[in-house]
Structure 1
Amino acid sequence: MVRDFIEINDFTILVEVGSSGTVTTDACKFEEPLIAVAFYGSGNVDLTVKYGAKQKDYSNTKGLVFSFYADAAVEFIHTISPNKPLQCIVIATALRNLGDLPNDEGEIFTNLLHQLVHPKDHFVEGPMFFMTPEMETIVDAVFNIPYEGKTKMMFFRSQITTLLSHFFGQLSQQEEEVVNEQEREKLYLAKEILFKNLNNPPSLTELSKQIGLNTFKLKKTFKALFGVPVFKYLQNERLTVAHKMIHTEAATVQEAAWHVGYDSLSSFSNAFAKKFGYRPSQIKK
Structure 2
Amino acid sequence: MSIVDRNGGFGETEYFDKPVIYDPISESSFDISGKWSKRVELGPGLALIVTDVTFPRHFVVRFDIERAPLLFCFILSGKARSTINHGRGGKTSIDGNNGTSHISFFPKSRGVSEFSAGTPARIVHIQLDPILLSTLLHGEFDDIPPDFYAAVEGSLKSRYHCSGIMTPNLQIALYQMLNCSYHGLTRFLFLEGKALELVAFQLEQFLFSRKREKSPQVLRQSDIERIHEARDIVIRNMKQPLSLMELARQVGLNEFKLKRGFRRVFGKTVFGYLHELRMERSRLLLEEGQMNVKEISYAVGYMDSGRFSDAFKRQFGVRPSLYYKNKSFSYSGGRGSLLP
| TM tier, smaller | 0.7 to 0.9
Give the corresponding residue for 1:59.
97
User: C-alpha displacement at 1:271, in angstroms?
Assistant: 1.5
Judge conservation of contact 1:199–1:259 (CA < 8 Å) in 2.
yes
Distance 2:279 2:192 in 1: 26
Task: Identify the residue that residue 147 of structure 2 maps to in structure 1.
Answer: 114
Q: Verify the 8 A CA contact 1:16 1:89 in the aligned structure 2.
A: yes
Total equivalences in the alignment:
274
1:244-263 mapped onto 2 (5 Å cutoff) = 244-263=284-303
Q: Which structure: larger Rg?
A: 2
Runs of at least 5 residues in structure 1 that lack an aligned partner in the other structure: none
Paired position in structure 1 for 2:110: 73
Secondary structure of the residue aligned to 1:147 is coil
Tell me, yes or no, if the aligned pair for 2:238 and 2:300 is still in contact at 8 Å. Answer: yes
Q: Distance in 2 between matches of 1:207 and 1:29?
A: 46
Instruction: Give the counterpart letter for 1:153 in structure 2.
Output: F
Contact map agreement 1:194 1:201 (CA 8 A) in 2: yes
Distance 1:37 1:227 in 2: 18
Q: CA deviation at 1:215?
A: 0.8
Cα deviation for residue 113 of structure 1 reads 6.8
Shift of 1:239: 1.6
Q: In 2, distance between residues paired with 1:107 and 1:77?
A: 37
Verify: 1:49 aligned to 2:87, yes or no: no
1:228 aligns with 2:268: yes
Q: Residue 113 of structure 1 contacts residue 126 of structure 1 at CA under 8 Å; is this kept in 2?
A: no
Shift of 1:199: 1.0
Show the 5 A alignment for 1:1-285.
1-11=36-46, 13-18=47-52, 28=61, 30-32=63-65, 33-40=68-75, 43-51=76-84, 55-61=93-99, 64-70=100-106, 72-77=109-114, 86=122, 88-93=124-129, 97-98=130-131, 101-104=134-137, 108=141, 111-112=144-145, 114=147, 117=150, 124-133=160-169, 135-170=170-205, 171-174=207-210, 175=213, 176-281=216-321, 282-283=323-324, 284=327
Q: Which amino acid aligns with 2:144?
A: N
Deviation at 1:28, TM superposition (A): 4.1
CA-atom RMSD, angstroms? 3.6
TM-score, length of structure 2 as denominator length: 0.66
Name which of structure 1's ranges 254-263 and 165-174 shifts more when overlaid on structure 2.
165-174
| Structure 1 residue 229, shift from structure 2 partner | 0.8
CA drift at 1:112: 3.5
Distance change >3 Å, CA 131–CA 108, structure 1 → 2: farther
Structure richer in helix, relative to its length: 1
Greater CA deviation, 193-202 or 252-261? 252-261
d(CA) in 2 for partners of 1:145, 1:36: 22
Counterpart-to-counterpart distance in 1, 2:73 and 2:146: 14
What are structure 2's unaligned runs of at least 5 residues?
1-35, 86-90, 331-340
Percent sequence identity over aligned pairs: 21
CA distance in 2, matches of 1:29, 1:229: 41
